[in-house]
Amino acid sequence: MPGLASKFNKLQITVIGLVVLRGVSTYGMTALDVANILGYQTNYTPLYAASVAKTTKNEVTTTNREENQLLFAPALVKVFNKFLINNPAISAADKLAMGIHEMGAPGAPVPPPTQAPIVTISYDAPLQHIVKMRNAATNRIGKPKGVGFMEMWYKIGDPAPTGLADANLKININKSGQTITYLLSQKGMTVYFFARWVTKKGEYGPWGAYFSAVIA
């Protein structure tokens, strides 16, 4: 899910436009599923507009947009994971528009990774984590061949998780260097992460042990 507001806004407009058009008839969603994600968009749209307009752009409108996006993005990820990524009923054109990458030309199958990603968290701006991912098999920055994204489940605040069930937040990292933004009220808290690879075919690599970083 894009962290940059302009890219996130462009993606959500495309995805929800298609969901409204074909969610019930083709994608296997209920009318309530569509209404729920549309509600997030209804709340987000004026906040985004205010944060980019020359006459209203300021620290307050930017913070309002960022805080709302922190709620909207996980909801949109759930729609991707539950209804879109591995749905054979969705046309190739719709998947391309939504940024869901199809496999290339037929060839030797690429098995899912057998090792969890190596993840490092760095800091650049307050209330942000920069997520860098590395292929454990090659020790190179980036994703293994055939992988679509790195899936991260995480928990904000102590106590430390006893397992995946304690991680109530999720994000998909498509590119090394992607950022996660937090609320001012979460400053100083510890974030606990789990990570695994997800292939373009929807297959999963193993989870790694949890790791943590403080919100600065």
Pairing of strands 190-199, 178-181: unpaired
pTM (predicted TM-score):
0.55
pLDDT band at residue 179 using 50, 70 and 90 as cut-offs: very high
pLDDT in tens, 123-160: 989 999 999 999 998 989 999 999 999 999 999 999 99
* Dist. CA 38–CA 31, nearest whole Å: 10
Share of the chain above pLDDT 70, in %: 95
CA 170 to CA 163: how far, in whole Å? Answer: 14
Tens of pLDDT, residue by residue over 64-123, are 999 999 999 999 989 998 999 888 899 888 888 898 865 444 455 668 899 999 999 999
> Residue 89 is inside which H or E element, if any?
none
Return the SS3 of 21: helix
Nearest to 37 by CA among 4, 82, 100: 82
Per-residue pLDDT at 85: 84
Question: Could you give the CA distance from residue 200 to residue 151 in angstroms, rounded to a whole number?
Answer: 12
What is the pLDDT, as a whole number, of residue 107?
A: 53
In CATH terms, the superfamily for domain 118-214 is: Immunoglobulins (2.60.40.10)
Residues 181, 183, 189, 193, Cα dihedral to 10°: -40
Report the alpha-carbon distance of residue 6 to residue 13 in Å, rounded: 11
